Structure 1
Amino acid sequence: MRWSTIAAVAAPPLILAAIGVSHPHELTAESAEWWTNMHILLVPLFPLLAVCHWILLRGMGGVLAWAARVAAFVYIGFYGALDALAGIATGTLVQAGLDAGGGHHDPSAGRDPAITRLFEIGNDLGYIGAYSFVAAGALTGFVMFRAAGPRALPGGLILVAASAVFSQKHIYWPVGVFAMLGLALGFGLLAWSSRPVPAARAEEPVLEVSAAV
């Protein structure tokens, strides 16, 4: 693959890492405006992680390749629900005056029941998307390994590990941000591993000259 392809699959997680640095760790009246606006910004960005899988798998057939594509698609739908419910909706309600309580890390700290319920259903749906993303990473890594051989192994392992961390830590600083950096590295290495291998140059025939006796 060309360098443009490597850049295409590495760019989305790098952008998400940059946004994750400023992700509030708690939803409060003070952080609600950025909490809401940031999750609106993330609506078109999170699906790009699935697109990275599709770019790597383009032209590849077989059950596992298509299973990876489907898993990435499932991630888009269910993780997008998390973004909408636990991100945009909760932030909007707090801006409207509902009590955010102790933030998303402590649901029992005096939070309005409506916000608590949005976090609960958002997280339930989000985990389906997150685990689907892990499955997509494992499948994509395996398909790439079968296609490119051992040189795809580092990228595949990094992709699966980073996907697993992302499934638990979102994009929060610092662990979630490093998970995004790991995704960028894993995707990039897999794209690099699929580059064409130059064919070995054929040896020129050796002409034997027999001397006349």
Structure 2
Amino acid sequence: MRVPTAVAATALPALALAVLGSSHPAMLTPESAPWWRDLHLIGIVLFPLLALGPWAVVRASRPAGPVGWVLEGLTVVLGFVYAGFYTALDVLAGVGGGHQTMRLGPGPWVASLFEIADVVTVPGVYAYLAATVLAAVLALVRAPGAWRLLAAVGALFAVVGAWSFLTSHIYYPYGVATMVMLALGHTLLLVAATRRPATRRHRRATSPAPAEEAAATP
């Protein structure tokens, strides 16, 4: 994957969710229910794409050989776990809660949907945190020289963002800030992991090339 494509896949879903979260209703009421429902319908498409961030970083920084394939495969599995369980949250508390409130008004069914949604989402958000930590560690190991400082900054933003994601969803302002941190953190990790160490010339600029040396030999 080309670096610009990987950066776009890493940053754009989280930034789109930050924009979406800026209009997330603070409370589910009969008045906010239509947008509550429709917002989470959009989220069903966008939230799974967050898994591209850790995966892109791991793919760029994994070691060669079987170990690298195992680490990338683990990241993919964690991404699937996150996407599946977090989609259940959107469907239950988002689409279901909003639609039921539109049709029936406030009632105990809303609290019941929120309760099961909170339970179902736990494996998903912890899987995302694990994938992010794995990506951060690999990028820190792979980044050369001074680029490791950039990777450290990215790791801080990404891991703190993934930890905040455990409870923040995309509610304004903390959830929006969480999405921005994930976008920035994974992008910095990706950029640092794709840098290559500068090669040093072991010959002086004035030294003759091997062919010239052979020609000069009597």
Query: What range describes the TM-score normalised by the shorter chain of this pair?
Result: 0.7 to 0.9
Structure 1 distance, partners of 2:92, 2:28, is 13
Moved more, 187-196 or 30-39: 187-196
- The one-letter amino acid paired with 2:80 is F
Length-normalised TM-score, structure 1: 0.84
- The one-letter amino acid paired with 1:5 is A
Q: What stretches of structure 1 of length at least 5 have no aligned partner? A: 100-111, 209-213
Length-normalised TM-score, structure 2: 0.82
Correspondence 1:74-153 to 2 at 5 A: 74-99=81-106, 112-148=107-143, 150-151=148-149, 152-153=151-152
Query: Is structure 2 residue 40 aligned with structure 1 residue 33?
Result: no
Structure 2 distance, partners of 1:46, 1:207, is 58
Equivalent pairs, count: 196
- The one-letter amino acid paired with 2:131 is A
Q: 1:66 to 1:157 in 2, by over 3 A?
A: farther
Kindly state the Cα deviation for residue 128 of structure 1 after the two structures are TM-superposed: 1.9
Kindly state the Cα deviation for residue 117 of structure 1 after the two structures are TM-superposed: 1.2
Q: Which residue of 1 aligns with 2:191?
A: 192
Q: 1:159 to 1:9 in 2, by over 3 A?
A: same
Structure 1 distance, partners of 2:89, 2:9, is 25
Kindly state the Cα deviation for residue 205 of structure 1 after the two structures are TM-superposed: 5.8
Kindly state the Cα deviation for residue 191 of structure 1 after the two structures are TM-superposed: 1.3
- The one-letter amino acid paired with 1:204 is R
Native 8 Å contact 2:58 2:134 kept in 1: no
Q: 1:199 to 1:38 in 2, by over 3 A?
A: same
Give the secondary structure class of the aligned counterpart of 2:12: helix
Structure 1 distance, partners of 2:24, 2:45, is 17
- Structure with more helix by fraction: 2
Q: 1:34 to 1:21 in 2, by over 3 A?
A: same
- The one-letter amino acid paired with 2:87 is G
Native 8 Å contact 1:85 1:122 kept in 2: yes
Give the secondary structure class of the aligned counterpart of 2:112: helix
Structure 1 distance, partners of 2:205, 2:137, is 40
Correspondence 1:3-18 to 2 at 5 A: 3-18=4-19
Q: Percent identity?
A: 39
Native 8 Å contact 2:44 2:87 kept in 1: yes
